[in-house]
Structure 1
Amino acid sequence: MSSVSARSRRAALRRSSVVAVGAAAAVLGGVCPPPSAQAADFYTPPAQVSPAASQPGTLVRSQPVPLMPPLPGTATRIMYMTSYQDKTPVAATGTVVEPFAGWRGPGPRPTVVVGPGTAGQGDQCAPSKLTGTPIAVDPGKSSLALNFVLPEMLILLNNGIRVAIPDYVGMGTPGVATYLNRAEGAYAMIDAARAALSLKNAPGNSPIAFSGYGEGGSAAAAAAEAVGDYAPDLDVRAAHAGAPMMDVTSTVNKVEGTHDAGTIGYVLNGLAVRYPAVRPILDRELNPAGKAMLAAVAGQCVADTGLAYGGQRSTAWTRTGESIGQLVARTPALQKALGDQQIGRGKPKVPVLLEAAPADDLVPFADVRRVYDAWRGKGVAVTLTTEGVPPLLSGTGLTHAAAKVPSLFPAASYLMSAFDG
Structure 2
Amino acid sequence: MLALSPPALATTDFYTPPPLWPGRPGDIIRSESSPLGVPLPAKATRIMYRSTDVHGAPIAVTGTLLLPLTRWSGPLVSLAIGTHGQGDQCAPSKLLNTAVHYQPPFDLMVGYELLAMDSLLRLGYAVVVTDYQGLGTPGTHTYLNPIAEAHAMIDAARAAQRLTSRVGPVAFWGYSQGGGAAGGAAPTDIAALADKASGTLLTGAIGYYLNGIIAAYPEAKPVIAAGLNATGKTMLTKTATQCIVETALTYGFRRHSDFTTNGQSITAMLTASPKTRAILTAHKLGTTKPAAPVLMVTGNNDDIVPAHAIRATAVDWCRLGATVQLHEIQAPTVLPGTAIGHIVNYLAAMPTALDWLAHRFTGTPAPTTCR
Shift of 1:326: 2.0
Residue 61 of structure 2 aligns with an amino acid whose one-letter code is A
Question: Are the equivalent residues in 2 in contact too, given 1:71–1:132 (CA < 8 A)?
Answer: no
Deviations 1:222-243 (A, max 9, x none): xxxxxxxxxxxxxxxxxxx23x
Shift of 1:165: 0.4
Residue 323 of structure 1 aligns with an amino acid whose one-letter code is S
CA distance in 2 between counterparts of 1:286 and 1:130 reads: 33
Match of 1:294 in 2: 236
Match of 1:15 in 2: none
CA distance in 1 between counterparts of 2:19 and 2:90 reads: 24
Runs of 5+ unmatched residues, structure 1: 1-37, 222-240
Question: Are the equivalent residues in 2 in contact too, given 1:134–1:148 (CA < 8 A)?
Answer: no
The yes-or-no answer on 1:213 pairing with 2:175 is yes
Question: Are the equivalent residues in 1 in contact too, given 2:286–2:313 (CA < 8 A)?
Answer: yes
The yes-or-no answer on 1:158 pairing with 2:100 is no
The yes-or-no answer on 1:125 pairing with 2:90 is yes
| 1:13-412 alignment runs, 5 A limit | 41-49=13-21, 53-68=22-37, 70-104=39-73, 109-131=74-96, 134-139=99-104, 142-203=106-167, 206-221=168-183, 241-242=184-185, 244-412=186-354
Residue 176 of structure 2 aligns with an amino acid whose one-letter code is G
Distance 1:111 1:40, change over 3 A: farther
How many percent of aligned residue pairs carry the same amino acid? Answer: 40
CA distance in 2 between counterparts of 1:41 and 1:291 reads: 31
Deviations 1:340-365 (A, max 9, x none): 11111111111111011122000011
Q: Matched residue of 1:54: which SS?
A: coil
Runs of 4 or more off by more than 4 Å in structure 1?
none
Shift of 1:333: 1.5
Question: Are the equivalent residues in 2 in contact too, given 1:74–1:100 (CA < 8 A)?
Answer: yes
Shift of 1:68: 4.0
Distance 1:306 1:336, change over 3 A: same
Residue 128 of structure 1 aligns with an amino acid whose one-letter code is S
Q: Matched residue of 1:42: which SS?
A: coil
CA distance in 1 between counterparts of 2:37 and 2:110 reads: 15
Distance 1:42 1:84, change over 3 A: same
Question: Are the equivalent residues in 1 in contact too, given 2:11–2:18 (CA < 8 A)?
Answer: no
Residue 149 of structure 2 aligns with an amino acid whose one-letter code is G
Residue 409 of structure 1 aligns with an amino acid whose one-letter code is P
Q: Matched residue of 1:178: which SS?
A: coil
CA distance in 1 between counterparts of 2:160 and 2:121 reads: 15
Runs of 5+ unmatched residues, structure 2: 1-9, 364-371
Distance 1:69 1:314, change over 3 A: closer
CA distance in 1 between counterparts of 2:255 and 2:233 reads: 14
Question: Are the equivalent residues in 2 in contact too, given 1:133–1:147 (CA < 8 A)?
Answer: no
Distance 1:40 1:155, change over 3 A: farther
Residue 127 of structure 2 aligns with an amino acid whose one-letter code is V
Q: Matched residue of 1:353: which SS?
A: strand
Q: TM-score w.r.t. structure 1 length? A: 0.81
Distance 1:132 1:406, change over 3 A: farther
Shift of 1:162: 0.1
Match of 2:4 in 1: none
Deviations 1:58-112 (A, max 9, x none): 01111111224641110111100101011111000001000011145xxxx1100
Distance 1:95 1:331, change over 3 A: same
Q: Matched residue of 2:33: which SS?
A: strand
Q: Matched residue of 1:63: which SS?
A: strand
CA distance in 1 between counterparts of 2:11 and 2:361 reads: 35
Aligned positions, number: 354
CA distance in 2 between counterparts of 1:316 and 1:343 reads: 28
CA distance in 2 between counterparts of 1:409 and 1:73 reads: 21
Shift of 1:48: 2.8
* Larger helix proportion of the pair: 1
Q: Matched residue of 1:188: which SS?
A: helix
Q: Matched residue of 1:120: which SS?
A: coil
Deviations 1:28-74 (A, max 9, x none): xxxxxxxxxx998100001233xxx1310001111111224641110
